[in-house]
Every structure is written in structure tokens, then in C-alpha cells.
């Protein structure tokens, strides 16, 4: 639970959404499990520890920027953002795989239909996941609104 809370907190800071938004998708535990299965417990532990530290530091934004620039944790952190926005895992860069190992799960894949539906990008642009959650007849004629960052 502690791990999931750390993961949700780091994810919120990286995506610009509130933790309550992330919990609301039902994907926090799913993505954490996928992440551990893909890059291993040790990398995830280091990522979450670095995240916990960054979030309580005097300048969280700067600390998170440093985390994302880290050779080992940076590409993983960036993939976590993409995962949340799209519901899909994208392969880690070749340089990362050469240095830290290539997992069989490190392939382009949508985690599940539910994760696709939960992609944050659709909320970020004021739309709905393409192919799901249809907003209703004639809704497309209404002026667009983009919900602000939380």
C-alpha cells in the first residue's frame, strides 16, 4: 500500500493530475504491477524512493527534473508518464536496454481495454477516449472546454 501511495504521488507530480484522479481510474495498482514486471522490483524501488525524496524536497520541480534526467531512472519515469497518458507501455530506449537489461514485457502494448479508456490525454484535451465514453448526441457541436490542470 505504501508503495502504491508513493507510485500514485509520483505519478500525479509527473502527469499534472491529482492523485484522486489517478486513483479514480482504477489503474494505480495495475500500472505498478506492470512496471515491476517490466523493469523489476529494484528499479521500481529506486524510482519510488527518488520520487518520495523529490516530493518533500525544497524544490520538487527541480528535483523531479533531475530524476527524469537520470540515466537509469529517467527513461523509466518518462515511460510512466506515457503510460498514464495513453494506457500503453512504450519500449524503453535501446541505450537503456543495452545497459540495464531488456525485459520480455518491454514491448509496445496497450495494457488493457480499461487502461486505454483511462488514458489521461483525453481528459487533458477536453475530449473522450476515441472509441469509448461517447459524450452524447450533438455534443461535438458544443464549444470545446479544456479542464484546467489540478
Partner 1 sequence: MPDYDVVIVGAGPVGAILARVLGEVESPRPLRILVLESGPAVGRTWAEYQGNHEHYLGAEVKVPNTPWVSSTYAPSPDVLDIRKLVPGSLPDDNGYFVQYGPLPFGTDYVRAQGGTMLHWLGTTLRMVPNDFELKTRYGRGVDWPISYADLDRYYELAELELGVSADVGDQAYLGITFAKNYVYPMFGIPRSYLDEHVAKAVDGMKVKLDGKQYTLLLSPTPQGRNGMPNPAYDNGSGYRPRGAHGADHVGLRCEGNSSCIPICPVQAKYNPLKTWGRVAPHVEVRTQCVVSRVIYAPTGSKPVAALEYYAYSDGRPPPTKPDRVTASVYVLAGNSIENPKLLLASGGTPNKHVGKNLMDHPYVLSWALMPENIGAYRGPSSTSGIEILRDGNFRRDRAAFRMEVVNWGWDFVTDSPFSDVETAVDRGRFGSDLRSDIAGTVPRQFHLGFLYEQLPHPGNQVFVKNGYVDALGIPRPCIKYDVDDYVRKGMAASRELWNQLFAKLGATEHTRYYESDPGYVTYDGKPYSFIGAGHIVGTHRMSKTQGEGAVDSFQRSWEHENLYLAGCGSMPTVATSNPSLTMAALTFRTAEQILDDLGTR
Residues that bind partner 1 (CB under 8 A): 13-17, 61, 64-65, 68-69, 78, 81-82, 85-86, 88, 90, 108-110, 112-113, 116-117, 121-122, 124-144, 146, 149
- Identity of the residue, 28 or 64, whose beta carbon is nearer to partner 1 in the bound complex: 64
Which residues, other chains included, contact 68 with Cβ-Cβ below 8 Å and sequence gap of 6+? 14, 74, 77, 78
- Identity of the residue, 100 or 116, whose beta carbon is nearer to partner 1 in the bound complex: 116
Rounded distance between C-alpha atoms, residue 149 and residue 93, angstroms: 29
**Minimum distance, C-beta of residue 94 to partner 1, in the bound complex (Å):** 14
**Minimum distance, C-beta of residue 39 to partner 1, in the bound complex (Å):** 17
Classify each residue of 118-142 as buried b or exposed e, where b means 16 or more C-beta atoms within 10 Å of its C-beta. Answer: bbbebbeeeeebeeeeeeeeeeeee
**Minimum distance, C-beta of residue 80 to partner 1, in the bound complex (Å):** 10
Amino acid at each position: 500500500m505504501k508503495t502504491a501511495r508513493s507510485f500514485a504521488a509520483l505519478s500525479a507530480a509527473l502527469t499534472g493530475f491529482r492523485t484522486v484522479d489517478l486513483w479514480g481510474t482504477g489503474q494505480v495498482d495495475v500500472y505498478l504491477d506492470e512496471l515491476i514486471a517490466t523493469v523489476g522490483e529494484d528499479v521500481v524501488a529506486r524510482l519510488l524512493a527518488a520520487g518520495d525524496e523529490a516530493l518533500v524536497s525544497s524544490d520538487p520541480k527541480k528535483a523531479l527534473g533531475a530524476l527524469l534526467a537520470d540515466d537509469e531512472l529517467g527513461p523509466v519515469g518518462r515511460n510512466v508518464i506515457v503510460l498514464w497518458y495513453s494506457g500503453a507501455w512504450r519500449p524503453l530506449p535501446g541505450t537503456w536496454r543495452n545497459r540495464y537489461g531488456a525485459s520480455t514485457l518491454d514491448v509496445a502494448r496497450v495494457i488493457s481495454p480499461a487502461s486505454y479508456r483511462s488514458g489521461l490525454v483525453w481528459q487533458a484535451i477536453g475530449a473522450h477516449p476515441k472509441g469509448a465514453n461517447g459524450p452524447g448526441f450533438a455534443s461535438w457541436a458544443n464549444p470545446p472546454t479544456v479542464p484546467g490542470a489540478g
